[in-house]
Amino acid sequence: MHVTARAWSSSANLGPGFDAFGLAVRAFHDEVTLRRIPRGTRMITDGSVPSDPARNTAGLVVARMARMFKKKGGLEITVKKGVPPGMGLGSSGASAAAAAVAFDRLHGLGLGPDELVRCAGAGETASAGTAHYDNVAASVLGGFVIAGEGVVRIRPPAGLRLCIAIPDVRVPRSKTRASRALVPKRVPLADHVSNMAAAASMAAGFATRDPALIGRSATDVIAEPARARTVPGLAAVRRGAVRAGAHGAAISGAGPSVIAFADVSADLGRITAAMSRGFKSAGIGCRTVACAPAPAARILP
């Protein structure tokens, strides 16, 4: 018996919502297949991610869920990567989400959304060193999520569109941990208030189905300035996107990708072209994707 689950890529932080905001984006997806075998754990990957289950996000999730729910027997875990690793698009979160959903179905656990998110969060320790839930919650639940004491999901506006620019840069395997280390541990009160106001405005934009408010709220005076040097051309990319019709833009997760927020009436090709020119001004090529918010992870037939 085997089960395959698909989970979409995600963008975390979205400007002011560091470690709290996540948005599932229909740009890329991962698929995880779990197959029963007589004993042990066997992992199959394409080589872009570790094949050691103890170092792979999907492997960590499966091991944790097997312990939690006292499930014995061997499993073969096949990870089909579609989300580019290390680019700020929730690659580890997508694999973790798909693994959690697949394990739940394979064993007939019937877990609720919050339980699935908690289980998937274990996979983030492979890339970030600690469990955090912004990306995995978005990939498990779909739409826009706020990860705090619990997870709140808000359905995005039907007219919201995203333009993502993924620069052609090499990133180290430890990129997520290194990027998190750049974020200041202490911040001035004025900066805290600025980010809090922007985060509240963005949440209100999602709640009121207002793409323009969402985009205008994509500002961050704490984490993004500290990480800006890791995204050469960031200012030009953001400026170009807004001039071409986007409502705002921000580093996607820990970067180096940049996400811009627009609505269905915008010329998305014009926005992505402007973002490409922004990276080109820094001597960097990029690929771009125009897409919409993504739905929840699901079992494939």
Average pLDDT rounded to a whole number, residues 229-246: 97
The pLDDT confidence band at residue 171, using thresholds 50, 70 and 90, is confident
Reading the block at residue 141, the tokens are: 């639940």
Average pLDDT rounded to a whole number, residues 157-165: 98
The proportion of the chain whose per-residue pLDDT surpasses 70, expressed as a percent, equals 97
Decide: 71 and 9 in contact? Cβ < 8 Å.
no
Ranges for all domains in the chain classified under CATH 3.30.230.10: 2-155+295-299
User: At residue 129, does pLDDT exceed 90?
Assistant: no
Least confident of 86-100, 104-118, 160-174: 160-174
Ranges for all domains in the chain classified under CATH 3.30.70.890: 160-291
Fold topology of 160-291:
Alpha-Beta Plaits (3.30.70)
For residue range 176-216, list pLDDT tens digits in order: 777 888 888 999 999 999 999 999 999 999 999 999 999 99
Average pLDDT rounded to a whole number, residues 288-293: 98
Predicted pLDDT of residue 3: 97
Active-site pick, 4, 124, 125, 272: 124
Predicted pLDDT of residue 128: 57
Residue 115 appears among annotated catalytic residues: no
Q: Is the pTM here over 0.75, yes or no?
A: yes
Active-site pick, 57, 125, 176, 272: 176
Residue 45 appears among annotated catalytic residues: no
Quote the distance between the C-alpha of residue 171 and its chain's center. Answer: 17
The conformational region for residue 111 under phi > 0 = left, psi -120 to 50 = alpha, else beta, is beta
Fold topology of 2-155+295-299:
Ribosomal Protein S5; domain 2 (3.30.230)
User: At residue 9, does pLDDT exceed 70?
Assistant: yes
What does the alpha-carbon distance between residue 9 and residue 7 come to, in Å, rounded to a whole number? 7
